[in-house]
Structure 1
């Protein structure tokens, strides 16, 4: 019998992406509501009772309300996968980055509630966690993170502005240093100090680059580029979706190379014997950064073959 899935918020960018990825699968039945009932609590609860998994693709406040609705069903409540920011660091929720650490994929498979990671956070945590876990980067380190994303991650208003040609070619934002992905970066990147995170958006629809510069002599063990590369390679050895490109130290990276995939590439850039490096992650903000990650978590939670 196919697994029954309801995407609450199926008309948004992430919801549409998940729906497209699940369409046509024999092991899945997508359940939907008429447009007029999608914000009606009673109609939503009725659907919740009859499905195996609800994927929340809603604004944070609406996602919190949906969790309350589901919780009110008691033993009849479905499992939840939340693509919003609302529950990524909340108690009782499992973080949906299967490659985070040993046993994370198994934890997701068993979890009743999973928080899908943020796009920027995916790139940053993928670079940070192996290094903090191995002790090469202290949890007390002061870290700067810089990133650029395609405009599709900015919501309906930003998408409309870029597609109408009224938006700038490039803009930095969240310069008040309060971006909503910072808490999960700290929690799962194992950082005690709040990093400086400066995101930006370019005039391209999708694709993402995340950069973390490091002064190697400021780290306690004073590692070299090869040491960092070896830790990243060991952490992601055998991973299906995360690829360490440690043999490369590119002078240039463009953000769209992994579009329409669920892949994530990691680089350690800089001269071989130099004492400065730039850690870099490349991904599709709509793929491994959103809908692709949700599909990966859905397959784990429901025991589906990918």
Structure 2
């Protein structure tokens, strides 16, 4: 693992999340403010962060191994999520939601900023995290994830326009721009570099503040047992499978660590939207996202300590 007190860095980010929760509780801010921050992060600061990271470091050595390990965890937990929901007697729509939210991680909105905060831009860790987000979350979510939701729910079939929107998303375009700037390489004016760095460095703080403003604890009522079960799949089984795959593939650090950390992230917020859109249980999906986000407060430090002890 990188040097320094990683737990303190992670707790600092969760302290920012706590500020958001407090502001919401005091009535000073709420969901509308979170939506503004989310849009700012998605359309401005995250693309700037991606370009800044990839222009300097490119994709880390062995990054495709991290994609393989994370994909293994994704499919294992999709099956486990459906199986757990079925064993608990939940209806088919809830089973589909469990498969989605139990497998797809918040790798871009949360995972990349966390990896960047823990590792900085050294060693290609952040670039590897970006590749995992692009392939394992974004591409797989809009293909396999949509197919799973459509089959288990009552929604319509996937269409080509949804995939086209993914390909034209600012984050995807910024990946292409960052890799082009790294490969050519193309020098940027100093003021452009400073602007990209300043915008990108704001991403982790804004992400955790927005999450704090978005958390709605009322969505947890009445479904504690299945929520805890699916959250365990997401927060415990997913990183365990990714760790096993990383060891089997003999991935080196920090590639192996990034694969496990990305799989250990809480539920992807986009998977909640897809669950509702294609007829799965959207309320159950949203409640699971809340539980996994809160549960990550405890599980991520445990995962980090396990990586310290178990990886060669």
Query: Which structure has greater strand proportion?
Result: 1
- Shared fold per TM-score greater than 0.5: no
TM-score (norm. length: structure 2): 0.26
| Larger helix share, 1 or 2 | 2
Larger Rg: 1
Q: TM-score, normalised by structure 1?
A: 0.27
